Amino acid sequence: MRIAYLSYEHPKGISGGGIGTYIGQMAKIMAEAGHSVEVFSGIEEKVTYQAFKHDGYQLHLIPAEHTEIFREKVLKVFEAVHLAHPFDAMESPEYGADALEVKLKYPEIPLVVKLHTPTFLISKLNSDLNFLSKMRFVLGALRKGNRPKFFWSYNNEYDPEYVLTSLAEKVVSPSHSLAKIVSQKWNLETKVIVVPYPFKPNQQLLKTSEVSTKPFVVTFIGKLEKRKGVLGLMRAIPKILKKYPNVIFRFVGKALPSPKTGMDMQDYMLSKLSTFRKNLDFQGFQSYEKIPEYLETTSVCIFPSLWENFPNVCLETMAAGRVVVGTDNGGMADMIEDGKTGYLIKPSSSQAVARVILKLLESKPEELAMIGAQARDSVLKRYNANVIGDACTTIFKQIIHKVDSR
């Protein structure tokens, strides 16, 4: 098959996100399976257009400052390639609606939309607006004699991500949670199929040594922001340190804005936990290559997100043989078998965080090692390239047959 992937993000261009990681891995898997694969991605505007072979597929890097510009510019490059050597099918993330202009111009090309996390959901998770905030806004507008504009309202028809997804022959989600959320919000006629992202662990992860509990280090990896659940973790720390005063809480990730205007999340957490500064280790943003080093000296990892689609870092932790604690209302509920390959807790609950960490502190090192070993086995069996590649090949064949039969 001739397959095109259209994504603004790619590890060789606009990198740093899970979408780019997925596109790079998936394109390589499909190329290794014998398909003719070309990827159309973005790169900084100061760089000129580039096209070259990478990991067995053709990679096109198109200068674009942001997704809206990429959406327009990719059409010209894609069109030239397609007219010379037609594609059988294409795939695009819903986020950014990267393939929208291409699909509108070439509706006959079967399209798979792979869900990552749509903008409407990201906005909801990061929003600090509650009922009282909305009422204050409305009353303030009325006092000024203005008609309030409900800027928090949402309309599918004006969302390019919805438009692209509604045009797809197949919609695929990496998790059951995201499939349910998007299906209900967008009232999709097409049933959303669940196929996880592929996961090929860094060999360094597989070589991680046995769990060390002296000192006992609880590691969080990810952006320090509200939707990652760091505020609930912050509130749990004093409860844990009251009983185990020598625990170290390590944070690896970039600090984003906090609830306090003008203060980033790291400084905010330090101000709230000033009594426990000796127990806090903020490492800031670190490259992907350094993650195994931090996991090497980690006892337990915690990802208390309000919601997560399919956090690769959870799989990396499991591949490293470390116990992972995640929340039960997103993609981690698919990854973790509670009590066997990790632990699941309710989001936004500092009590739940404290309870599970205290339980793990009271566990023997060999018990932690056993859960870590089971987690590693689970990851290697369920998310390997052959399993995911076969599932994606089947989907492409189905939509090509469906379009040909029209």
Instruction: Express each pLDDT in 300-355 by its tens digit.
Output: 999 999 998 888 899 999 999 999 999 998 999 999 999 999 999 999 899 999 99
288 vs 153 pLDDT, higher one? 288
What does the pLDDT average to over 198-203?
A: 86
Which CATH architecture is the domain 2-198+384-404 placed in? 3-Layer(aba) Sandwich (3.40)
- pLDDT score for 98: 97
- pLDDT score for 201: 85
The whole-angstrom separation of Cα 309 and Cα 251 is 21
Q: Is the pLDDT of residue 284 over 90?
A: yes
Work out the mean pLDDT of the chain and round it to a whole number.
90
Extended beta strands in 169-322, E state:
170-173, 192-194, 217-221, 248-252, 280-284, 300-303
Instruction: Say whether 278 sits in a helix, a strand or coil.
Output: helix
- Comparing 64-68, 135-139, 183-187, 287-291, the range with the smallest average pLDDT is 135-139
C-alpha gyration radius of the chain: 23
Q: Is the pLDDT of residue 378 over 60?
A: yes
What does the pLDDT average to over 36-59?
A: 95
Question: Which residue type is seen at 400?
Answer: I
Task: For residue 287, give both structure tokens.
Answer: 């490259």
Q: How far is CA 72 from CA 8, 31, 68, 228, in A?
A: 11, 27, 7, 32
| Percent above pLDDT 90 for the chain | 76
What does the pLDDT average to over 151-163?
A: 75
Fold of 203-382: Rossmann fold (3.40.50)
Which residue shows structure tokens 């903008």? 119
Task: For residue 140, give both structure tokens.
Answer: 């303030």
pLDDT-derived band at 134, boundaries 50, 70, 90 = very low
The whole-angstrom separation of Cα 92 and Cα 100 is 9
pTM, entire model: 0.81
Which part of the chain has CATH 3.40.50.2000? 2-198+384-404, 203-382
